[in-house]
Structure 1
Amino acid sequence: MSDVLSQSEIDALLQALSTGEVDVQEIQEDTKEKKIKKYDFRRPDKFAKDQLRTLQVIHENFSRLLNTYLSGSLRCLVNVDVFTVEQLTYHEFSNSISNPAVLGIVDFSPLSGQIIFDITPDIAFTLIDRILGGSGKPMDENRNFTEIEITLLKSVIKQMIRLLNEPWENVLDLEPRLEKVETNSQFAQLISPNETIALITLNIKIGEVEGMLNICIPHLVIEPILSQLSTKYWFNSTTKESTPDDQKIIESRINKAYIPVRAVIGKTYITVNEFLDLQVGDVIQLDTTINEDMKIFVGDELKYRGKPGTKKKKMAIQIVSVERKEEI
């Protein structure tokens, strides 16, 4: 980050420029020098910024779905948003895992490999407390999870990973499956410690409790689809133009759709007593005249006007005009 000048330093610089002590030309030449960016060849960047940005978009959609699911199942106010999306080594990620931990090992089918759902203990205990009918207040003690608590967390994580299908559908059809839940990071060594991963951190706030959900995606797992994580591919897939075959399919489905059509001769209002006293041959006066065209409704909208008649000894109506929208 460049140094920020104080007001006294700015005044001194302006004074030096006005007196000629500092040459503007020299400053401009210095700024034109080629800037060098540091690069560590021992830790090469395997994810481009474009690909990390696409992962952020995908998991922003996931966070909205997760927000809706948790709010409904826990019956309380929940806020979920994407905190960071960055690339690290697996060693850096595993060292940052708390103990005890909630690590969901997820099979990322159809891709070969596994990803990790890491839920911080404070959020995990709050989830358990809310599921069992508690208030979800933060816990002061730091203890291991019981078998019953692990079982409850498994059901929650299974539902979480099902929500991944929709955000990823523009890239591939996912079939994620929870394999197991570990509480010790030493038993979750999926890849080499020096391998690169994409770490998506979601900030979760449940009532007064705030914590993190970390999604660890190894580079080896999503390497076959990295080309599909570019912004250009993403927007082309989401804004794909319909082909003539797509239009034919839509037209055929519209032609098979059933729409209610009714012709209204006229309307009137009678009392309940008059309705109960109706007999065969009684005359009911309507609000239309004999020469007035009947109104034909398609669904609830007035579309046509017509005249009544018969065709092949059956009652029919002939359409004589199309109702314009501005006339309705």
Structure 2
Amino acid sequence: MGDILSQNEIDELLRALNTGEIDVQQMQTTTAEKKIKSHDFRRPSKFAKDHLKTLHIIHENYSRLVTNFLSGYLRTLVQVDVISVEPLSYYEFNNSISNPVILSVVDFTPLTGSVIFEIAPNISFALIDRILGGKGSSMERVRGFTEIELAIIERIIIQMLNLMREPWENVIAIRPRLEKIETNAQFAQIISPNEIVALVTLSARVGEVEGMINICIPHMVVEPIVSKLSTKFWFSTTEKEFASDVKENIENKIEQTVVPVRALLGKTVITVAEFLELQQGDVLPLDTSINGNLEVHVGEILKFYANPGVKRNKVSIKITDVLKREDE
């Protein structure tokens, strides 16, 4: 739908048509032209917009989990947000990385293949500094990582990868496992350079330090479940699981609810004077026949009829009838 013209623009257009400044035939020819969108057959787009939108939703949930985890783990202000999810070739992603960097190769079991979990150097140094008792500041000069620093950052990455399970569970139950950490992008060639990947870019803020966290997901890894990467499937699955969880919680609470159950042997009416004179051994005549049914109340509701008796030397009752809702 085109833009809505104001009254002044309409008047100006009519004036131009009347004076011949605009050719009607030219306008019709221009309108009839089809808009052409270029397509690069060397780089076909394998991720649809719906797939990227679902990945965005998944990693929005993931960013919230990471924010809560790092804030509690580091005892400082941490904020992680999703900036974008876009398709590009692995060559473009790999070529944009400057060394040194933290590149984690992650096995995405049960899916075949690996993904890349990249943390910018300034964020990595801020995490290490905070864990070692510092204020969470980054390095003023660019340098490589020591073995001790890599061991520290590895522990954090493993815990951050474990947080991926929950956001992905509506699509597939993944078990991400850290395979190795590379500090040089040239040694992280996990797929062909021309392979299409979905690059999830997260902005991270640790104290006063800001940087990026990138998650590179090759299309070949998620290809078996690409049909599930749709918002329609996502929300339908979420609603079903939510309804199932609600039903299960209600059933569990009902099963654990304690209610009083009383069996009434019978009823009678006496005066207060007779009640005060009652002694042990006195007999009260009840309005229930010796062969009649006893009323069994659940709470204040009459629910069953029963016969009195003895079982294993204990006074008991045997349910003989159940009252339905309409009978009540």
Give me the TM-score of the superposition, normalised by structure 1: 0.71
- The aligned counterpart of 2:30 is 30
**1:87–1:243 CA distance, 2 compared to 1 (3 A):** closer
Among all aligned residue pairs of Structure 1 and Structure 2, give the percentage whose two residues are the same amino acid.
Answer: 57
Alignment of 1:9-24 (within 5 A): 16=16, 19-23=19-23
State the superposition RMSD in angstroms: 3.3
Cα distance in 2 between the residues matched to 1:226 and 1:196: 14
Does structure 2 retain, via aligned residues, the 8 Å contact 1:106–1:176? yes
Q: Which runs of 4+ in 1 moved over 6 A?
A: 12-15, 241-244, 311-314
CA distance in 1, matches of 2:156, 2:115: 17
Aligned to 2:100: 100
Q: In structure 2, how many angstroms separate the alpha carbons of the residues matched to 1:105 and 1:207?
A: 27
CA distance in structure 1 between the partners assigned to 2:13 and 2:141 by the alignment = 57
Could you list the per-position Cα deviations for residues 29-68 of structure 1 after superposition, in whole angstroms to 9, with x for gaps in the alignment? 5234221111100100111111011000100110111111
Give, in whole Å, the separation in 2 of the partners of 1:100 and 1:209.
18
- Residues 66 and 31 from structure 1, CA distance in 2 versus in 1: closer, same or farther, beyond 3 angstroms? farther
CA–CA distance in structure 2, aligned partners of residues 16 and 48 of structure 1? 44
Render the CA deviation track for 1:213-242: whole Å, top value 9, x for unaligned.
000111111100000001211111111288
Instruction: Check conservation: 2:129, 2:138, Cα contact below 8 A.
Output: no
Aligned in 2, Cα 1:36/1:125: closer, same or farther, shift over 3 Å?
same
Q: Is the 8 A contact 1:98 1:120 kept in 2?
A: no
1:156-180 CA-partner distances (Å, limit 9, x unpaired): 1001111101100100111111111
- Residues 59 and 250 of structure 1: CA distance in aligned 2, closer, same or farther (over 3 Å): closer
Q: CA distance change for structure 1 residues 61 and 32 in 2, over 3 Å: closer, same or farther?
A: farther
- Partner residue, 1:158: 158
- Call closer, same or farther: CA 1:184–1:50 in 2, change over 3 Å: same
Structure 1 residues 241 and 75: alpha-carbon distance in aligned structure 2, compared to 1, 3 A threshold: closer
Deviation digits for residues 111-156 of structure 1 (CA, Å, limit 9, x no counterpart): 1111110101010000101111111223211000000000000011
Cα distance in 2, alignment partners of residues 38 and 134 from structure 1: 52
Letter aligned with residue 216 of structure 2? C
SS of 2:65's equivalent in the other structure is helix
Distance 1:241-1:115 versus aligned 2 partners, 3 A rule: closer
* 1:230 corresponds to 2:233: no
CA apart distance, 1:71: 1.1
Which protein has the larger Cα radius of gyration, Structure 1 or Structure 2?
2
2:50 is aligned with 1:43: no
Secondary structure, counterpart of 2:199 in structure 1: strand
Determine if the alignment matches structure 1 residue 77 to structure 2 residue 77. Answer: yes
Structure 2: runs of 5+ lacking an equivalent: 1-11, 261-298, 302-307, 316-328
TM-score (norm 2): 0.71
Once the two structures are TM-superposed, the CA of residue 186 in structure 1 deviates from its matched residue by 1.5
Asked if 1:210 corresponds to 2:210, the answer is yes
Measured in 1, the distance between the counterparts of 2:92 and 2:107 equals 22
1:114 aligns with 2:114: yes
Per-residue deviation at 1:14? 8.9
- Which shows bigger deviation, 32-41 or 108-117? 32-41
